[in-house]
Amino acid sequence: MTKARIAVLVSGGGTNLQALIDAQSSGIIHSGEITLVISNNAGAYALQRAEKAGIATEVVLKKELGSQAAFEERIKELLTVYQIDIIVLAGFMSILSETFTSCYPKRILNVHPSLIPSFCGEGFYGLRVHEAALNYGVKVTGATVHFVNEIPDGGEIILQKAVEIQPDDTPETLQKRVMEQAEWKILPAAVEQVCSML
């Protein structure tokens, strides 16, 4: 069986990337293989995680390329060179345009730290999502893995997992629990599900 070739796009620490690497090692992801990690931040710790796992890395910087179009074109070139089938956005802090996303229908996955359609869309990322959930007073939050289209957090939902909010939660404690209980479980599961259907 030929495995689907996966590229993971990262910007920071790479905790979700690590969850994917671990899931691949433990056999949760067996229909696909992470063959490339692309970062838009040369200093991202995620790159070290990838290198440690023996995965090829590439850095693509928008400021060097001069425009969003050139930035996306370079990413597309790399995806072609590495013959990538599936793209996973794991804390990738750059919104991709419709020009890019339309080239890969149902091939780009993203994990978002809330139960979409709550606390999602433009401007909702990182701790901001958890701050919004706590400010609103919801009792349950969670994470969502969805396909990526031209609307931020607007693509078809693949998997969701709920996480209860504790009375003494801060955005930081909530972020950690959502990662551990939801993101790191459903992201690998969703990646396997999509790879197995190719």
Burial (CB count within 10 angstroms: exposed 0-12, middle 13-18, buried 19+), residue 73: middle
Residue type, 91: G
CA angle at 70 for the pair 68 and 75, rounded to the nearest 5°: 95
Q: What is the largest CA-CA distance in the chain?
A: 49
DSSP output for 157-184: EEEEEEEEPPTT--HHHHHHHHIIIIIH
- In the residue annotation, 112 being an active-site residue is answered as yes
Amino acid identity at 61: L
- Cβ atoms of 91 and 10 closer than 8 Å: yes
Catalytic residues: 112
